[in-house]
């Protein structure tokens, strides 16, 4: 079996972390004190072995109650962090199938009941178990082997010992005449995306790297869905959900609302990590489409139509009619002509003209034409929000927004209705515009982290890719309707995106497998390690991963497209961030699919970083000038 940490001393750090989490008392010196206590016990006994009772006798700085708590946590960590060695489990099965007796001999201070729990967890039984902590002697002196031979009353030639330590498991049994073999194990592997030197190694990072290394080592082949799900998406969302959980406690949030469609998967992960909170977790389908008509019931309807429109530079009147859910175009045109005299519906409308108010009279006439539906959608929205418990104390709105527009519009709508609601936006990242718009009523994981500003920008630039990995198998929300006395949300009939649902479902399945494994092996804080794995994949994807992710489809009002549209021929100037077509959303994925070498992608990243920091300096200088 293996521990899911690189060094057994990390277990002591885990104990200190868990103690602080459970009892609110920080024990920064505990890991060293624990090791010192073990060394003292060993020095007293000399060549003989120690056990947990002896070790904890020398933890003189702690009360008996504290030592009892610490010991319980250490034993729990040892149980939770042990995983089986698949190759040796196969050897064990062969021995059982061929009628061989299983004798487990271990140098270990843990008590028998803990070792039995660990062995049961990995599905291994035995005939005899000899523990150095019980016998008082060890394998490293060869004396434990003598005890085994004497107690079993067998000859050395009747026993074959298998282990991984050249002295304790190979040389020492041979001294007693016992044949010995090195244990089988897969070579420890790590993914290309996991770079331990990228940041200071903390307990959480070590724990994650060890788990992923073991996961990869125990499998002959990882396909892209497994790799992206288990090693990338899973750790990223666990990292985010750990932050969410801390923010919820800090702000005493009554409920968390996970906004469609990306909230679909985030909620699944959070629920698996914190099942005791399941009753307070809600999935809410709320976007510009659902809010648009209710917003038009407000006094300044034209202003809110502009906020809830789709982003583009030009509009035709058909699109404007569609945004208002007008199906009978001719009837609506006739209505407008009678009230305003305007009949130039064949003309294109620019964003600038819409923002200037040039077409406000026509828009107001269209709002009047749709008055009945606007009032209906407004009433349905009120009932929908009420049914979900949005007004029951402070709530967190978990979403992938960046500018906070949706939360701002929702808050304005509720205020116009005289409804009080304490909403805190919970996001991956936010802009200064978002902070200003929401007046501080939002928190953002990456924005508040120590991750570099450039890394945050790359994450921001590729938010569409992450959204698609978290989507539910439904189209975007359109409007509300009543079904059997319950408010439902009508979703758009999916187009090209439905081709990806099988892949996305598999990626999410493997990500949830990681969540399950991580929480079962002590869910220590990942300290942004989940982010770094995802970021490395964004910047330097393996070709197979770029094929899967780059060809994900995006249903869009401006035309359906893929994440990395490879129909555009490669141009060398793209590596200098020049004139890259807008439809190429994920640049590094596009370069990988075009077989650009790693140095070429590094050149692009260096160029992008240079431009980013130049812009930062310019913005800073402007602020200094205008502040004077």
- Domain boundary (471, 498, 530) is at 530
User: 291 burial class (0-12, 13-18, 19+ CB within 10 angstroms)?
Assistant: buried
- Helices (H) then strands (E): counts for the chain: 29, 17
Does pLDDT of 3 surpass 90?
A: no
CA nearest to 407, candidates 389, 421, 387, 386:
421
Please state the rounded mean pLDDT for residues 173-191.
Answer: 83
pLDDT given for residue 201 in this prediction? 67
Same domain, 177 and 199: no
Mean pLDDT of the chain: 91
What residue spans of 521-567 are helical by DSSP H?
529-539, 543-550
Please state the rounded mean pLDDT for residues 191-218.
Answer: 75
Task: Convert the pLDDT of each residue in 337-368 to its tens digit.
Answer: 999 999 999 999 999 999 999 999 999 999 99
Does pLDDT of 202 surpass 90?
A: no
Does pLDDT of 397 surpass 70?
A: yes
What is the number of domains present in the chain? 3
CA distance 497 to 466: 14
Residue 590 placed within a domain: no
Same domain, 266 and 398: yes
What pLDDT band is residue 557 in, cutting at 50, 70 and 90? low
Angle at 185 between CA 75 and CA 168, to 5 degrees: 65
Q: Residue 113: CB partners within 8 Å, gap ≥ 6?
A: none
- Domain boundary (499, 530, 561) is at 530
Residue 92 placed within a domain: yes
* Contact by Cβ (8 Å): 248, 281: no
Least confident stretch, 386-395, 519-528, 574-583: 519-528
What pLDDT band is residue 317 in, cutting at 50, 70 and 90? very high
Please state the rounded mean pLDDT for residues 114-126.
Answer: 93
Q: Residue 427: CB partners within 8 Å, gap ≥ 6?
A: 398, 399, 400, 401, 402, 404, 434, 442, 443, 444, 445
For residue 116, what are the domain limits? 84-182
Same domain, 125 and 164: yes
Same domain, 170 and 229: no
Same domain, 172 and 205: no
What pLDDT band is residue 227 in, cutting at 50, 70 and 90? very high
Does pLDDT of 199 surpass 60?
A: no
Residue 156 placed within a domain: yes
Same domain, 160 and 265: no
Give the best-scoring range by mean pLDDT among 192-206, 366-380, 461-475: 366-380
Q: What is the CATH number of the domain that holds 146?
A: 3.40.50.1000
How many Cβ atoms sit within 10 Å of the Cβ of residue 344? 8
Same domain, 57 and 110: no
pLDDT given for residue 628 in this prediction? 55
CA distance 575 to 460: 19
What pLDDT band is residue 200 in, cutting at 50, 70 and 90? low
**For 202-252, what is the HEC assignment?**
CHHHHHHHHHHHHHHHCCCCCCHHHHHHHHHHHHHHHHHHHHHHHHHHHHC
Does pLDDT of 623 surpass 80?
A: no
Residue percentage of the chain with pLDDT more than 90: 70
Residue 207 placed within a domain: yes
Same domain, 60 and 96: no
What pLDDT band is residue 413 in, cutting at 50, 70 and 90? very high
- Domain boundary (162, 182, 202) is at 182
Tokens of 435: 């902070």
CA distance 561 to 585: 10
| Residue 191 or 573, more confident | 573
Same domain, 197 and 174: no
Tokens 């064990």 found at? 92
Residue 573 placed within a domain: no
Task: Convert the pLDDT of each residue in 232-264 to its tens digit.
Answer: 999 999 999 999 999 999 999 999 999 999 999
Does pLDDT of 610 surpass 60?
A: yes
Residue 462 placed within a domain: yes
Does pLDDT of 141 surpass 80?
A: yes
Distances (CA, A) of 286 to 290, 291, 430, 482, 531: 6, 7, 19, 16, 27
Please state the rounded mean pLDDT for residues 145-167.
Answer: 94
pLDDT given for residue 215 in this prediction? 82
Tokens of 165: 């330590």
**For 26-38, what is the HEC assignment?**
CCCCHHHHHHHHH
pLDDT given for residue 84 in this prediction? 85
pLDDT given for residue 231 in this prediction? 93
Same domain, 273 and 422: yes
* Contact by Cβ (8 Å): 144, 56: no
> Cα Rg for the chain, rounded, in angstroms?
31
Does pLDDT of 192 surpass 80?
A: no
pLDDT given for residue 299 in this prediction? 87
* Contact by Cβ (8 Å): 563, 549: yes
| Residue 615 or 364, more confident | 364
User: 388 burial class (0-12, 13-18, 19+ CB within 10 angstroms)?
Assistant: middle
* Contact by Cβ (8 Å): 69, 23: yes
User: 8 burial class (0-12, 13-18, 19+ CB within 10 angstroms)?
Assistant: exposed
- DSSP annotation of 156 reads G
pLDDT given for residue 197 in this prediction? 59
Q: How far apart are the first and last CA of the chain?
A: 66
Task: Convert the pLDDT of each residue in 42-71 to its tens digit.
Answer: 998 876 789 999 999 999 999 999 999 999
| Residue 475 or 160, more confident | 160
Please state the rounded mean pLDDT for residues 66-78.
Answer: 94
Same domain, 413 and 494: yes
pLDDT given for residue 189 in this prediction? 65
pLDDT given for residue 558 in this prediction? 63
List 420's β-bridge partners, or say none.
Answer: none
Tokens 């502009």 found at? 306
| Residue 196 or 368, more confident | 368
Residue 552 placed within a domain: no
Residue 225 placed within a domain: yes
| Residue 216 or 246, more confident | 246
Same domain, 263 and 279: yes
pLDDT given for residue 269 in this prediction? 97
Does pLDDT of 98 surpass 90?
A: yes
């Amino acid at each position: 079996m293996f521990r899911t940490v690189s060094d057994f001393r990390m277990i002591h750090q885990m104990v200190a972390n868990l103690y602080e989490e459970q009892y609110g008392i920080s024990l920064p010196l505990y890991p060293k004190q624990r090791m010192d206590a073990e060394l003292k016990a060993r020095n007293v006994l000399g060549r003989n072995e120690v056990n947990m009772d002896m070790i904890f006798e020398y933890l003189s700085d702690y009360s008996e109650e504290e030592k009892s708590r610490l010991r319980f946590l250490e034993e729990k960590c040892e149980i939770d962090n042990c995983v089986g060695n698949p190759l040796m489990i196969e050897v064990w099965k062969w021995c059982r199938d061929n009628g061989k007796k299983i004798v487990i001999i271990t140098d270990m201070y843990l008590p028998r009941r803990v070792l039995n729990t660990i062995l049961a967890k990995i599905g291994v039984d035995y005939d005899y178990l000899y523990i150095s902590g019980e016998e008082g002697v060890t394998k490293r002196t060869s004396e434990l082997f003598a005890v085994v031979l004497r107690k079993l009353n067998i000859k050395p030639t009747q026993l074959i010992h298998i282990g991984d330590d050249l002295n304790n498991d190979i040389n020492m049994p041979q001294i007693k005449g016992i044949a010995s073999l090195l244990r089988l194990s897969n070579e420890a592997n790590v993914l290309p995306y996991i770079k331990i030197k990228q940041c200071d190694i903390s307990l959480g990072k070590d724990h994650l790297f060890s788990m992923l290394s073991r996961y990869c080592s125990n499998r002959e082949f990882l396909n892209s869905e497994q790799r992206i799900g288990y090693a990338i998406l899973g750790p990223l969302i666990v990292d985010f959900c750990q932050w969410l959980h801390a923010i919820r406690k800090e702000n005493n949030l009554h409920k968390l609302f996970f906004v469609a469609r990306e909230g679909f998967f985030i909620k699944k992960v959070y629920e698996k990590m914190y099942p005791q909170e399941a009753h307070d977790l809600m999935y809410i389908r709320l976007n510009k489409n659902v809010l648009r008509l209710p917003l038009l019931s407000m006094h300044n309807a034209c202003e809110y139509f502009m906020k809830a429109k789709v982003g583009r530079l030009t509009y035709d009147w058909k699109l404007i009619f569609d945004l208002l859910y007008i199906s009978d175009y001719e009837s609506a045109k006739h209505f407008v002509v009678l009230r305003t005299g305007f009949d130039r519906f064949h003309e294109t409308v620019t964003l600038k003209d819409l923002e200037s108010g040039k077409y406000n009279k026509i828009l107001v006439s269209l709002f009047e034409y749709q008055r009945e539906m606007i009032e209906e959608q407004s009433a349905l929205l009120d009932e929908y929000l009420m049914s979900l418990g949005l007004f029951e104390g402070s709530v967190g709105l978990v979403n992938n927004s960046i500018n906070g527009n949706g939360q701002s519009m929702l808050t304005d709508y509720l205020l116009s209705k005289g409804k009080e609601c304490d909403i805190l936006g919970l996001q991956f990242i936010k802009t200064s515009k978002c902070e200003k718009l929401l007046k501080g009523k939002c928190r953002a994981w990456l924005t508040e982290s120590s991750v570099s500003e450039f890394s945050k920008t790359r994450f921001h630039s590729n938010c569409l890719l992450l959204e698609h990995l978290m989507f539910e198998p439904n189209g975007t929300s359109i409007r509300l309707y009543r079904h059997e006395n319950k408010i439902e949300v009508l979703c758009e009939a999916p187009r090209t995106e439905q081709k990806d649902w099988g892949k996305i479902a598999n990626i999410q399945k493997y990500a949830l497998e990681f969540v399950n494994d991580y929480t079962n092996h002590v869910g220590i804080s990942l300290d942004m390690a989940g982010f770094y794995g995802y970021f490395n994949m964004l910047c330097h994807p393996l070709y197979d991963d770029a094929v899967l992710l780059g060809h994900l489809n995006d249903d869009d009002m401006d035309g359906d497209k893929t994440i990395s549209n490879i129909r555009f021929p490669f141009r060398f100037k793209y590596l200098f961030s020049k004139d890259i077509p807008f439809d190429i959303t994920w640049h590094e994925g596009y370069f990988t699919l075009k077989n650009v070498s790693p140095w070429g992608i590094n050149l692009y990243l260096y160029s992008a970083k240079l431009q980013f920091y130049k812009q930062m300096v310019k913005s800073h200088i402007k602020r200094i000038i205008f502040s004077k």
